[in-house]
Amino acid sequence: MKTTTLLIACLALGSVAAAADNSHLVRLYEEEVLAHDLYVALGKKHPDIRPLQNIPHSEARHREVMADILKAEGINIPKPPEGRRFTTRGLDRTYRQWLKEGRRSEVDACRVGVRLEDHDIADLRAAQKDFPQHKEALANLEAASNNHLRAFHRNLTGRGGKYEAEALPAADFKAIVDGEMQRGACGGDCGKCGPDNNRADRGKWGRGPGAGKGPGGPRSCKGQGQGNGRGRQGGGGPNR
C-alpha cells in the first residue's frame, strides 16, 4: 500500500498569496529539516549510498533558504515542544516511519529518498502558486530537488528497486527522472562539488552559517560547512 501521509498536505484551492496560510511556509521549512535529518541518519546506516552522504549538505542550505523566507514574512522559526521534532502535524510520524523503512536495506533507503523528493517537489510547486513573492527562491529549491530525485532514483534502480510516483503526476515524475541536471539553488555549481548530486546548493540562496565562501565567491565549493544554522531543532537535544 502506498505511503501517502505526508510531506504534502493539499494547499487550499483558489488561495492567493495575501490569504495563504503561514503554516504552509512553516511546513515547507520543517520538511527541509526532516529531509536533512533523515538523510543524515540513513547515511550512517548505509554509507555506500553516495546521495545520502552528499545531499544532506544541500538540505542544510535549503533549510536556510526557507528560514530566510519565514523571516521575510515575519514568521518565527518553529520550536517543537519537548519530545517532538516538528510542529507540523504528521511530520513526526512521517520521520519515524521513513527512518524505519530506510534502515531495512539499501534499496529501501533509496526508495525513501525518492519518495521524499517526490512529495517535496509537489509541495514546492504548489507553494510557488500560493506565494508568488517567493517564486524564484522556491523554483530554485524545486530544481535542486529534481537533481536529488534523479540521484536517488538512479541509485534505486541500480540496486534493482522500483518506485511509482505518489505525489507528482506520473508523466512529470518520468520527465524529471529522464531529464538532465538542473541549475538549482547552487546557481549551477551543485554538481561540481562531488558525483551523484548537489553537495551544497548555495549560490545566492545559501546565506546562512556554513554557507562556505571560499575563493571564487559564494558559489565556490571551498570552505563549505555541514550547515549548523537556524532550525536544526536543537542539535542533540530531546527532539533528536
Dump pLDDT digits (tens) for 15-45: 333 335 788 899 999 999 999 999 999 999 9
Dump pLDDT digits (tens) for 161-177: 999 999 999 999 999 99
Phi, psi of 65, rounded to the nearest 5 degrees: -60, -45
Q: For the chain, what percent of residues have pLDDT higher than 90?
A: 63
Is the model's pTM score more than 0.95?
Answer: no
Determine the average pLDDT of the residues in 66-77.
95
Dump pLDDT digits (tens) for 185-234: 444 333 333 333 333 333 333 333 333 333 233 232 333 333 333 333 33
Instruction: Give the DSSP per-residue string, 3-49.
Output: ---SS-PPPPTT--GGG--HHHHHHHHHHHHHHHHHHHHHHHH-TT-
Q: For the chain, what percent of residues have pLDDT higher than 70?
A: 68
Least confident of 79-83, 111-115, 152-156: 79-83
Report residue 200 as a C-alpha cell: 551544497
| Mean pLDDT of all residues belonging to the chain | 76
Contact by Cβ (8 Å): 213, 223? yes
